[in-house]
């Protein structure tokens, strides 16, 4: 799994710490980086190699995750974008597709999704449906 590199953008430092700790414990060869703001994410993407997967929270005080993905995509053209939200909806799926997001994952399903993704290389080829 050493070829995997996850980047997390979420405004909740506790959520980020939980996901980082889980990934580093269960999948120790996977690199994990994070940012709390869209500006921090952009600076990180400019400074380091493009991650294989970028997780972006939908609801942040500074910005909407869909808009953030549109801003980050030119700086990470080979990354797979994963939108994380508490409640995926059909309308959100369509908006996500238009923004170039390959996957939507409920925050409640994120650990299981990441575990499958990091073990198998693919947890779900398309957008995930509501729980």
Confidence of residue 30 (pLDDT cuts 50, 70, 90): very high
Q: Does CATH place domain 4-120 in 3.40.50.2300? A: yes
pLDDT tens-digit map of 97-125: 888 888 899 888 888 888 888 887 665 54
Answer whether 57's CB lies under 8 Å from 9's CB. Answer: yes
Contacts of 76 (CB under 8 A, 6+ apart): 45, 50, 51, 54
pLDDT tens-digit map of 38-94: 999 999 998 888 899 999 999 999 899 999 999 999 999 999 999 999 888 888 888
Domain boundaries in the chain? 4-120
In angstroms, the first-to-last Cα distance of the chain is 28
pTM, two decimals, is 0.87
Residue whose C-alpha is closest to residue 46's, from 38, 36, 55, 57 = 38
**Tokens found for residue 125:** 């080829």
């Amino acid at each position: 799994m050493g070829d995997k590199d996850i980047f997390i953008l979420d405004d909740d430092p506790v959520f980020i710490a939980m996901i980082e700790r889980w990934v580093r414990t269960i999948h120790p060869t996977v690199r994990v980086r994070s940012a709390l703001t869209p500006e921090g994410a952009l600076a990180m993407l400019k400074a380091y190699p493009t991650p294989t997967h970028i997780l972006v929270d939908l609801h942040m005080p500074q910005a909407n995750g869909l808009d953030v993905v549109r801003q980050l995509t030119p700086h990470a053209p080979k990354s797979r974008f994963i939108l994380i939200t508490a409640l995926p909806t059909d309308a959100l799926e369509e908006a996500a597709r238009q923004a170039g997001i390959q996957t939507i994952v409920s925050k409640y399903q994120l650990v299981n999704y990441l575990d499958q993704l990091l073990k198998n290389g693919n947890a779900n080829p398309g957008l995930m449906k509501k729980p």
